[in-house]
Structure 1
Protein backbone atom coordinates (compact mmCIF):
# COMPACT_ATOMS: atom_id res chain seq x y z
CA UNK A 1 0.00 0.00 0.00
CA UNK A 2 1.54 3.28 -1.16
CA UNK A 3 -0.73 6.23 -0.34
CA UNK A 4 1.51 8.85 -2.03
CA UNK A 5 3.61 7.07 -4.67
CA UNK A 6 5.40 10.28 -5.64
CA UNK A 7 7.08 10.22 -2.20
CA UNK A 8 8.36 6.63 -2.56
CA UNK A 9 11.72 5.80 -4.16
CA UNK A 10 12.40 2.14 -4.97
CA UNK A 11 15.90 1.38 -6.24
CA UNK A 12 16.83 -1.18 -8.88
CA UNK A 13 16.22 -4.73 -7.69
CA UNK A 14 14.55 -3.64 -4.44
CA UNK A 15 11.71 -5.87 -3.20
CA UNK A 16 8.50 -4.89 -1.44
CA UNK A 17 6.71 -8.09 -0.44
CA UNK A 18 3.02 -8.91 -0.06
CA UNK A 19 0.99 -7.01 2.52
CA UNK A 20 3.54 -4.23 3.10
CA UNK A 21 2.66 -0.65 3.98
CA UNK A 22 4.98 2.09 2.74
CA UNK A 23 3.56 5.00 4.74
CA UNK A 24 4.52 8.51 3.62
CA UNK A 25 2.21 10.51 5.87
CA UNK A 26 1.25 10.65 9.55
CA UNK A 27 -1.32 12.58 11.55
CA UNK A 28 -0.05 13.71 14.96
CA UNK A 29 -2.07 16.11 17.12
CA UNK A 30 -4.33 16.77 14.11
CA UNK A 31 -1.35 17.91 12.01
CA UNK A 32 -0.53 16.14 8.76
CA UNK A 33 3.15 15.55 8.02
CA UNK A 34 4.52 13.94 4.88
CA UNK A 35 8.00 12.74 3.95
CA UNK A 36 9.80 10.47 1.51
CA UNK A 37 10.47 6.75 2.02
CA UNK A 38 13.48 5.22 0.24
CA UNK A 39 14.34 1.62 -0.53
CA UNK A 40 17.80 1.64 -2.06
CA UNK A 41 18.98 -0.79 -4.76
CA UNK A 42 18.62 -4.42 -3.70
CA UNK A 43 16.81 -3.61 -0.43
CA UNK A 44 14.12 -6.02 0.82
CA UNK A 45 11.02 -5.23 2.88
CA UNK A 46 9.64 -8.54 4.14
CA UNK A 47 5.98 -9.60 4.00
CA UNK A 48 3.61 -7.41 6.05
CA UNK A 49 6.42 -4.97 6.88
CA UNK A 50 5.65 -1.32 7.60
CA UNK A 51 7.91 1.66 6.84
CA UNK A 52 7.03 5.08 8.26
CA UNK A 53 7.86 8.49 6.72
CA UNK A 54 11.46 9.74 6.38
CA UNK A 55 12.81 6.17 6.70
CA UNK A 56 15.40 4.61 4.44
CA UNK A 57 16.38 0.99 3.83
CA UNK A 58 19.97 0.90 2.56
CA UNK A 59 21.47 -1.01 -0.38
CA UNK A 60 21.01 -4.78 -0.03
CA UNK A 61 19.62 -4.37 3.52
CA UNK A 62 16.84 -6.71 4.66
CA UNK A 63 13.88 -5.95 6.90
CA UNK A 64 12.17 -9.14 8.09
CA UNK A 65 8.50 -10.15 8.01
CA UNK A 66 6.03 -8.16 10.09
CA UNK A 67 8.65 -5.57 11.03
CA UNK A 68 8.19 -1.85 11.68
CA UNK A 69 10.74 0.71 10.48
CA UNK A 70 10.06 3.80 12.60
CA UNK A 71 9.87 7.38 11.32
CA UNK A 72 13.28 8.70 10.27
CA UNK A 73 15.17 5.43 10.81
CA UNK A 74 17.96 4.40 8.45
CA UNK A 75 18.66 0.70 7.97
CA UNK A 76 22.37 0.48 7.09
CA UNK A 77 23.44 -1.08 3.79
CA UNK A 78 23.99 -4.83 3.82
CA UNK A 79 22.45 -5.44 7.25
CA UNK A 80 19.40 -7.42 8.40
CA UNK A 81 16.77 -6.16 10.84
CA UNK A 82 13.54 -7.59 12.29
CA UNK A 83 10.91 -6.77 14.91
CA UNK A 84 8.41 -4.15 15.97
CA UNK A 85 10.19 -1.78 16.15
CA UNK A 86 13.15 -3.18 14.24
CA UNK A 87 16.38 -4.35 15.85
CA UNK A 88 19.39 -6.25 14.50
CA UNK A 89 18.45 -9.66 13.10
CA UNK A 90 20.77 -12.13 14.79
CA UNK A 91 21.20 -15.86 14.33
CA UNK A 92 19.61 -17.46 17.41
CA UNK A 93 21.61 -20.65 16.82
CA UNK A 94 25.00 -18.92 16.87
CA UNK A 95 27.15 -19.54 19.97
CA UNK A 96 27.15 -16.70 22.49
Structure 2
Protein backbone atom coordinates (compact mmCIF):
# COMPACT_ATOMS: atom_id res chain seq x y z
CA UNK A 1 0.00 0.00 0.00
CA UNK A 2 1.30 3.44 -0.95
CA UNK A 3 -0.01 6.53 0.82
CA UNK A 4 0.95 10.09 -0.04
CA UNK A 5 0.34 13.09 2.20
CA UNK A 6 0.15 16.36 0.28
CA UNK A 7 1.21 19.57 1.96
CA UNK A 8 2.61 22.96 1.11
CA UNK A 9 6.18 22.62 2.43
CA UNK A 10 6.28 19.25 4.16
CA UNK A 11 7.67 20.01 7.62
CA UNK A 12 4.78 19.08 9.90
CA UNK A 13 3.53 16.49 7.44
CA UNK A 14 6.84 14.60 7.54
CA UNK A 15 6.42 14.26 11.34
CA UNK A 16 2.97 12.82 10.72
CA UNK A 17 4.45 10.36 8.18
CA UNK A 18 6.85 9.05 10.86
CA UNK A 19 3.97 8.52 13.29
CA UNK A 20 1.93 6.75 10.61
CA UNK A 21 4.89 4.48 9.78
CA UNK A 22 5.25 3.55 13.46
CA UNK A 23 1.55 2.76 13.63
CA UNK A 24 1.72 0.63 10.46
CA UNK A 25 4.73 -1.22 11.85
CA UNK A 26 2.94 -1.95 15.13
CA UNK A 27 0.00 -3.40 13.15
CA UNK A 28 2.34 -5.48 10.97
CA UNK A 29 1.28 -3.59 7.85
CA UNK A 30 3.54 -3.00 4.91
CA UNK A 31 2.98 0.59 3.86
CA UNK A 32 5.00 3.10 1.90
CA UNK A 33 4.08 6.54 3.25
CA UNK A 34 5.55 9.79 2.03
CA UNK A 35 4.91 13.51 2.23
CA UNK A 36 5.22 15.51 -0.97
CA UNK A 37 4.49 19.13 -1.88
CA UNK A 38 1.58 19.50 -4.29
CA UNK A 39 3.95 20.84 -6.95
CA UNK A 40 5.69 17.43 -7.10
CA UNK A 41 2.65 15.19 -6.68
CA UNK A 42 2.40 14.22 -10.36
CA UNK A 43 5.86 12.58 -10.09
CA UNK A 44 4.66 10.29 -7.27
CA UNK A 45 1.35 8.89 -8.52
CA UNK A 46 2.63 5.51 -9.81
CA UNK A 47 1.46 2.74 -7.51
CA UNK A 48 -0.26 5.14 -5.12
CA UNK A 49 -3.42 3.87 -3.42
CA UNK A 50 -4.42 6.87 -1.30
CA UNK A 51 -3.64 10.59 -1.28
CA UNK A 52 -4.40 12.51 1.90
CA UNK A 53 -4.37 16.30 1.75
CA UNK A 54 -3.19 18.43 4.67
CA UNK A 55 -6.03 20.57 6.07
CA UNK A 56 -4.01 23.75 5.43
CA UNK A 57 -4.09 23.05 1.66
CA UNK A 58 -7.63 21.63 1.45
CA UNK A 59 -8.36 24.11 -1.36
CA UNK A 60 -6.20 21.85 -3.60
CA UNK A 61 -8.62 18.92 -3.21
CA UNK A 62 -10.65 19.47 -6.43
CA UNK A 63 -7.50 19.74 -8.57
CA UNK A 64 -5.85 16.69 -6.95
CA UNK A 65 -9.05 14.63 -7.22
CA UNK A 66 -9.38 15.53 -10.91
CA UNK A 67 -5.87 14.19 -11.57
CA UNK A 68 -5.80 11.19 -9.22
CA UNK A 69 -9.29 9.69 -9.11
CA UNK A 70 -9.32 8.71 -12.83
CA UNK A 71 -6.21 6.63 -11.98
CA UNK A 72 -8.15 4.80 -9.25
CA UNK A 73 -6.44 6.69 -6.42
CA UNK A 74 -8.63 7.59 -3.44
CA UNK A 75 -8.30 11.22 -2.30
CA UNK A 76 -9.45 12.86 0.92
CA UNK A 77 -8.55 15.64 3.36
CA UNK A 78 -6.85 14.79 6.66
CA UNK A 79 -9.05 15.48 9.67
CA UNK A 80 -8.01 18.84 11.18
CA UNK A 81 -7.95 17.49 14.75
CA UNK A 82 -5.94 14.37 13.87
CA UNK A 83 -3.50 16.53 11.90
CA UNK A 84 -3.13 19.07 14.70
CA UNK A 85 -2.51 16.35 17.27
CA UNK A 86 -0.20 14.45 14.88
CA UNK A 87 -2.34 11.34 15.42
CA UNK A 88 -0.57 9.00 13.01
CA UNK A 89 -2.71 6.04 14.00
CA UNK A 90 -6.01 7.81 13.20
CA UNK A 91 -4.70 9.19 9.90
CA UNK A 92 -3.41 5.73 8.93
CA UNK A 93 -6.80 4.18 9.78
CA UNK A 94 -8.48 6.80 7.59
CA UNK A 95 -6.16 5.92 4.67
CA UNK A 96 -6.78 2.17 5.14
CA UNK A 97 -10.55 2.75 5.22
CA UNK A 98 -10.37 4.73 1.96
CA UNK A 99 -8.28 2.02 0.30
CA UNK A 100 -10.89 -0.70 0.92
- TM-score of the two chains, using structure 2 as the length reference: 0.30
- TM-score of the two chains, using structure 1 as the length reference: 0.30
Give the greater-gyration-radius structure (CA): 1
Q: Which has the higher strand share?
A: 1
Q: Which has the higher helix share?
A: 2
Select the structure with the greater relative contact order (CA < 8 A; seq sep ≥ 6).
2
